[in-house]
Structure 1
Amino acid sequence: MASLGPLTLLGVCDGQIDGRYRTSYLTNKLGGRPDWSPVPPPEAPRCPRCGARLAHVVQVYCPLEDSPFHRNIRLFACPASECSGRPECWRALRSQCLEEEAAAGTPCRPAPPQEAPLPATHWCDAADDWGEEEEEEEGGGGVEEDQQEAAETICEAVTGIDVSSRLQDLSLGESQEDVPVLGSFFISVVEESDLGGEDDDLQHAQELLREYERREGVAVGELECGGGGEEEKYEKTKARHGDAVFSRFMKKISLCPQQILRYCRGGKPLFISKPPPNLAQMVSACGSCGASRTFELQLMPALVSLLRRKDGGAEVELEFGTVLVYTCTKSCWTAGSGAAVEEFCFVQADPDQQLFK
């Protein structure tokens, strides 16, 4: 999902991820457990406010042009009702690994160092040896044939299981029982510039937009801002409730209202409400190298309805308008590092949540 100039990429929800599918750090997905590469942190991140484990929300594979690194950004959030929507209860972690490390077969989720689990093929190779000591001690006649038949049966059963998907539920030295897991889906990527036509859904979105214009007494089309600097001239066109920023937001997403993610490294974020005037000062420098940060991606309102527990009820776990992620302009990284770099999240609440339900 690398960005070229002003190119904006949109993420839309695709098929559900279950035990039939393998995922890796190359996978764009929402929910589930993160696929770390090359080495995961020792435990799932915790909420700084309540101390609970954070749920994995989104994993984005986003290598940079002319960079030797594979690169991921993963977002985590606290699903507790008193924490949902608070910026401090979100965390964005960036991890990278050299392409030659991945080509050499460095595992995405290595096993605990004290005991490396064998893959299914190794289990089957060793199955022929099961019970040999017992056979030598007992000297039984038909035991070898019975054991061989049993080994073959077990081998067939094991090779039919996606063991890697089971191993993804493990991590280094921690219990996963208290880590909330959200339902997982693949994320497909499209270029915003390719969305020229209107199908029935898009036509319906345009009709809703026209109704919004009539109700609020504002021509949303006038809210599109040209190039210029950092500050958008939101005041030129005002809706009756004074929220011209939200009107522009609605106009911008009308071509693809089902988008759950926008990616445009170095581009301009799409605010859902007027940002604070000191936002540039709020976006802190990179805590790893001290470089400034730039906008890279944001989560969109359509994602909210998909964030439900994997095996729980139908209640939505998180509420937000948009979550903007700013990352290190240098994308600093030390080869061989096992610690993810934390980036900056800015969260805006949805000023009119019912429009997305």
Structure 2
Amino acid sequence: MPKVSQKVLLGFVDERIVNESCSDDAYTINKIGGLPDTQNQIFLPKCPLCNHQIPLLIQIYAPVINSIYHRTLYIHACISPGCWNKSQSWICLRRQWVAADHYEDKQQSTTFIEWCDDADNWGEEPEAEENHNITVKSQAIENCTSASAELENSDADDNVVAEPIDIPNTNCLQLLDSRKEIPLDHYDMNIYFEPYYISVAYEELSDTVKEHANNLLHNYKNNQIITEEKNEGYEKSLPAHGDKYFETLASTIRKNPGQILRYCRTEGKPLFLYEDSEPNKCTNCQGKLLFELQILPSLITYLKLICGEEHHGSGHLEFGTALIYTCENNCWNEGDTYKYECVMVQEEKLF
């Protein structure tokens, strides 16, 4: 029997959302694409680099335990090729709403683990909502474009190493060759990615896979020694996909194919593509940051861009991995409508 991780939750692409919900609690829906579901006016933030509106990439409902607030993360990424793979072109907004009656039920203060309880029902919409089409939200975003859009070593298991990553239906070289730039006059329209529900499951840790990974690690270390001996006197430069960081990430993903994101706000550890320094200070309150969410490149193949009534297909975003860090204190003041959280993007290097 596979072991079940009590910490890491994995997100997978589920059914396409045909009719997006316009209900008051739509912000509790976990999805990729579409338009942001909020209790406030809908708008798309602007990229700090190119100043164009940037579409919603992922919406995650992630309330914090013992909090009186509903809490949703909205992660946006710029589709301009010149902004790809740059942390500054990604925006994560944390929005919160006081629960109607936070004393009534513990459900209002549960953690992201609720994903698993409701996963089987995410693809279903109440009949009363079926007539609400995504075009309703498209009109809403058009009406609000004039509104201000100015928003303010991996510690993964050292015994895990990998074979090359196996992402179904994803070819990074083809993605690079299919780059498509949207005309400038389209950027301020109602731009969004085709929406899909996200389903969730616990990360499974198989004894068989771990044993195989340990064997790979042993072989990897032996090869490193042999290589260093052969190249004595020369500075060694590992291939981008040959160091321990990438191998650890690839091995971990292979255990649960198809995952597009990894979530763990409690003692979670990111899987880096390469060594990098982690952000540690909240820009809002100067408090400590926690790693909360990681978006994987396997998401790219599902990102089909829609501008108004025009469908532009995929090939409009590139990244290696995106790491989301949020305020440990979940800082919030009365009157706040959102808080910026930290996004760190690592580029996948194909050489």
Q: TM-score range by the shorter chain?
A: 0.5 to 0.7
In 2: Cα distance, 1:92 partner to 1:79 partner: 15
* 1:17 and 1:186 in contact (8 A); partners too: yes
Give the equivalent residue in structure 1 for 2:202.
191
Give the direction of change, closer, same or farther, for the CA distance of 1:290–1:164 in structure 2 (3 Å limit): farther
| SS of structure 2 residue aligned to 1:168 | helix
Give the equivalent residue in structure 1 for 2:11.
11
* 2:7 and 2:268 in contact (8 A); partners too: no
Write out per-residue CA displacement over residues 294-324 of structure 1, whole angstroms, 9 at most, x where no aligned residue: 1000101210111121342333211111100
Query: Offset at 1:39?
Result: 1.9
| SS of structure 1 residue aligned to 2:27 | coil
* Paired AA for residue 346 in structure 1: M
Q: How many residues align?
A: 260
Which TM-score applies when normalising by structure 1?
0.63
In 1: Cα distance, 2:335 partner to 2:100 partner: 11
* 1:56 and 1:182 in contact (8 A); partners too: yes
Q: How does 1:284-299 map to 2 (within 5 A)?
A: 285-299=281-295
* 2:240 and 2:350 in contact (8 A); partners too: no
In 1: Cα distance, 2:46 partner to 2:240 partner: 42
Q: How does 1:312-323 map to 2 (within 5 A)?
A: 312-323=311-322
Question: Which segments of 5 or more consecutive residues in structure 1 lack a partner in the other structure?
Answer: 104-158, 221-237
Q: How does 1:137-286 map to 2 (within 5 A)?
A: 162-163=131-132, 165-169=134-138, 170-171=140-141, 173-174=144-145, 178-193=189-204, 196=206, 218=220, 242-276=242-276, 279-280=277-278, 283=279, 285-286=281-282
* 1:47 and 1:54 in contact (8 A); partners too: yes
- Quote the RMSD (CA, aligned, Å): 3.6
* Paired AA for residue 56 in structure 2: H
Which TM-score applies when normalising by structure 2?
0.64
In 2: Cα distance, 1:20 partner to 1:284 partner: 36
In 2: Cα distance, 1:167 partner to 1:218 partner: 54
* 1:291 and 1:328 in contact (8 A); partners too: yes
Query: Offset at 1:21?
Result: 5.7
Q: Percent of aligned pairs with the same residue?
A: 28
In 1: Cα distance, 2:315 partner to 2:292 partner: 26
Give the equivalent residue in structure 2 for 1:345.
343
Give the direction of change, closer, same or farther, for the CA distance of 1:252–1:352 in structure 2 (3 Å limit): farther
In 1: Cα distance, 2:252 partner to 2:27 partner: 30
* 1:63 and 1:71 in contact (8 A); partners too: yes
Give the direction of change, closer, same or farther, for the CA distance of 1:239–1:46 in structure 2 (3 Å limit): closer
Write out per-residue CA displacement over residues 71-102 of structure 1, whole angstroms, 9 at most, x where no aligned residue: 01111011011111111100110001011179
* Paired AA for residue 72 in structure 1: T
Query: Offset at 1:352?
Result: 4.6
Query: Offset at 1:165?
Result: 4.6
Between structure 1 and structure 2, the one with the greater Rg is 1
Query: Offset at 1:18?
Result: 1.4
Give the equivalent residue in structure 2 for 1:300.
296
Query: Offset at 1:245?
Result: 1.0
Question: Which segments of 5 or more consecutive residues in structure 2 lack a partner in the other structure?
Answer: 104-127, 147-186, 223-237
In 1: Cα distance, 2:129 partner to 2:31 partner: 24
In 2: Cα distance, 1:19 partner to 1:63 partner: 25
Give the equivalent residue in structure 1 for 2:108.
none
* Paired AA for residue 99 in structure 1: A
In 2: Cα distance, 1:254 partner to 1:352 partner: 19
In 2: Cα distance, 1:97 partner to 1:246 partner: 38
Q: Detail structure 1 runs of 4+ shifted over 3 Å in the superposition.
A: 20-23, 163-167, 195-198, 238-242
Give the direction of change, closer, same or farther, for the CA distance of 1:173–1:251 in structure 2 (3 Å limit): closer
